[in-house]
Every structure is written in C-alpha cells, then in structure tokens.
Amino acid sequence: MNLNESQVIATREFGPISRTDIVRYQAASGDFNPIHHDIEFAKSAGFDDVFVVGMLIAGYLATFASDLVGVESINKFKIRFQAQTWPGDQILCSAKIIFADQHINGNERLVTLELIAKNQNGVLAATAQADARISSDSLLLSSK
Amino acid sequence: MTKDNPAYKFSMQVDYGKYLEFAAATGFKPKPEKEMPVVPPTFLATAEAWLPPGTWPAGEILGFDLKRSLHGEQEFIFHKPIRVGDRLNGRIWLESTFSKTGSRGGEMRFSIWVTDFHDENGNSVAQSKMTIVETGSEK
C-alpha cells in the first residue's frame, strides 16, 4: 500500500440481514424500539414489515472502517441515514480514503474515510465519515 | 434543559460481555479481555441499555410519536479511546429542535440530542449526537 496514493477504494459486504440479526443488535444495544421486530407494530405505523435498525448499518460501517485503519485510531464517526433497509437485504459498503496533506507528530497522519452503504438493488442506505489518526506504516488495507 | 441541567443522567460500565455481544451483532472481530480492547466506534449506542427500559427522550420530552419518528443522523466524537473496563458517567441533553415542512405537506420536527460522557475523574472522554426526525402526520 502506497501512502502517496490520495485515495483508495475498499469494499465489504454484510448480510443478508435476518430478523435474528436485527434482534441480536437490539439486544446488544438496548434499543428495543418495536418497529424493528414487532410486525404488528410496524404495520400499525404504516409499514409493510419491520425495518432494519439504522444503527446496525452504522455498526457494519464502523466495523468496516475499524478493519481498514484500526479501531484505536478512529476519533470521530458520523452517519446520515438515507433510506430504510429491510429483512433479507444485503449491505454493500465501500470506502474512499482521503489523506490529509500534512503529517502531524512525526509520522502520524490524519485520514478521513468516506463510507457508503447500499442495498443489493443499489439503493443508498447511509453515508458516513470516519476520522482517524494513523501512523504511516499501520494502514491495514489488505484487500480491495 | 441544558448541558448543565441534563434531561437524563446515567452511569455505565464498559464490560467485556457487552463488548462481545456488540461485536457479534456488528461483525466486529473482538480482542481478548486482557488487552482491555478499544470498543468499536458505535459501541456507545449501548448507553441505552443503562437507562430505564423504554426511555425515549424525544417522546417523553417533546411528545414525538414513535410510529412516525426516524433516526436521521448519529455522530460519535472520542477525546480518548473508550476501553473495556472503563466506567463512564453520561448526561443527555437537548441541543436544539426545529421544524420544516415535509415533501408531503406535513410538519417535520427535528431534535438533536447530545450525550456527554465523562470518566470517573470528570474528564470529558466522548460525545454522542443523535438527530431524531418526526415525519409529518399526512401519510
């Protein structure tokens, strides 16, 4: 991996998301909003089915970002949800890596990961950004 | 309600069991407990598990209808890495609220909720910012 490249594209797939995956995330996070697991409740709110917790998509993108630059180096993570995803959806994540021009503290460098998550039909589910400080020899990009 | 007079206060232990559960749910590869691993970037969402069941600030304080509400944006800022073993004190407050006319004509209400996390010495270690949107009642 050549750090002189200004951008690198990496991709990763998650899912297909099962109803069990939704429940597993809700139990782990403590967010028990019934709209994500109780189909009668979801229908009463005007939806055809339960939809995936947005923060599960956020969690996938955060895992993807962590595997790219190292979890310890990320000091900011921000996500904007664009469309709901549904049980059975696959989540296709991609990252663009933008290197700051200047090094800080010797060989440390600021990078920003621009992340997107789409479903299997190409519908944009979320956009996110992760800011990280990495040392020039620590980038963990092993695959594209 | 302000930063100094928060709507909710809570205390949370960053425990290894919750770390493993969260890792399993989000496809994150966990590290051994003895390394006191840094938690993944969205782990602080688990603060919700330390609040009384059903706590939902936008509904309780602003009267947002859960059936019409969506999570619009979420941000986490870390002043230092959060590790398994940390004990954090949290304060949740309403940063702002505003309205817009939605594309279907109804009023959309927005609210931005901040959670400040401090360590046991009172140092600010992280901040979470959540945007909740209530869509218009005209479906």
Among chain B residues, CA nearest to A83: B72
pLDDT digits (tens, 9 = 90+) for A13-46: 999 999 999 999 999 999 999 999 999 999 999 9
Q: Does residue A14 belong to the interface with chain B, where contact is any CB pair within 8 Å? A: yes
Tokens representing residue B135 in the block: 């869509």
Parallel, antiparallel or unpaired: strands B69-78 and B124-134: antiparallel
CB contact under 8 A, B67 and A46: yes
pLDDT at A3 over 80: no
Output DSSP code: residue B33.
Answer: G
User: A25: which chain B residues are within 8 Å (Cβ-Cβ)?
Assistant: 25-26
Q: How many CB atoms lie within 10 A of CB A111?
A: 20
Q: Tell me the residues of chain B between 51 and 70 that have a Cβ less than 8 Å away from chain A.
A: 51, 53-54, 56, 66-68, 70
Q: Please check whether residue B85 is in contact with residue B14, taking contact to mean a CB–CB distance below 8 angstroms.
A: yes
pLDDT digits (tens, 9 = 90+) for B87-113: 999 999 999 999 999 777 789 999 999
Q: Tell me the residues of chain B between 90 and 129 that have a Cβ less than 8 Å away from chain A.
A: none
Three-class SS state of A124: strand
N-term to C-term CA, chain A:
11
Q: Is A117 exposed, middle or buried (0-12, 13-18, 19+ CB in 10 A)?
A: buried
**Helix then strand then coil, % of chain A, to nearest 5:** 25, 35, 40
CB contact under 8 A, A79 and B46: no
The pTM of this model reads 0.93
CB contact under 8 A, B25 and A29: yes
pLDDT tens string, chain B, 139 residues long: the values are 678 889 999 999 999 999 999 999 999 999 999 999 999 999 999 999 999 999 999 999 999 999 999 999 999 999 999 999 999 999 999 999 999 997 777 899 999 999 999 999 999 999 999 999 999 885 4
Residue among B45, B54, B129 at smallest CA distance from A55: B45
CA angle A83, A89, B55 (to 5 degrees): 60
Tokens representing residue B61 in the block: 């304080």
